[in-house]
Amino acid sequence: MERKKPVAQKKSPANPEFQAALKLYEEGKIPEAIAAYQKIVLKTPKDASAWLNLGAILRKADQFEASVACCKRALELSTAKGSFLTNLGNALISMDRNEEALAAHEEAVRLEPNSFLIRSNYAIALRECGFPEKALVHFDAACAMEPNNDTMKWERALTYLDMAQYKEGWEAF
């Protein structure tokens, strides 16, 4: 029951090819977006954002090993590591490489503790890896950052229910 979304970098160079690839992704045209990002990384192999987006989209297409490779390449090229690490963590979770995934998510939170997306991805990963108590800490932090985010409230409620804390779970709904 995977709910983590790929982190597509919306801030990018004013590159029309990059913008076109991002639009394809946002429209759900996954094979076309993959092809577009592959062209970009062939043309500009040091574009960390293109590598990151390609990795996120490959994960969405269940191409997990390629996704991990792209996320790692993006990390090599960039200093903006938090969002890159959370994407890597998501891809590693998809491959059941949980220890590595949690380490990537933990480092992302350390680097960007006030990022809603990074906190929420870490919380979901912790729950999926069997650490619901630790997950609740990060769900609470994410909910504090975006108190009106119904998806996050839902995820937190599911975590309480998974822990057989039914009173808290139903109240969290």
Q: Dump pLDDT digits (tens) for 34-45.
A: 999 999 999 999
As a whole number of angstroms, the distance between CA 68 and CA 55 comes to 7
As a whole number of angstroms, the distance between CA 14 and CA 129 comes to 39
Average of per-residue pLDDT values in the chain: 89
Sequence-ordered list of residues with C-beta below 8 angstroms from that of 25, at least 6 positions apart, any chain: 8, 33, 53, 57
Residue 45, both tokens: 């192999």
Q: With CA atoms as reference, report the closest residue to 150 among 108, 120, 106, 109.
A: 120
As a whole number of angstroms, the distance between CA 84 and CA 66 comes to 15
The model's pLDDT over 103-155, given as tens digits with 9 standing for 90+, comes to: 999 999 999 999 999 999 999 999 999 999 999 999 999 999 999 998 998 99
Average pLDDT over residues 29-34: 96
DSSP secondary-structure letter at 126?
H
Sequence-ordered list of residues with C-beta below 8 angstroms from that of 45, at least 6 positions apart, any chain: none
Residue 88, both tokens: 């890597």
> Would you say residue 63 has pLDDT above 70?
yes
As a whole number of angstroms, the distance between CA 112 and CA 104 comes to 12
> CA 67: distance to chain centroid?
12
Sequence-ordered list of residues with C-beta below 8 angstroms from that of 170, at least 6 positions apart, any chain: 157, 161
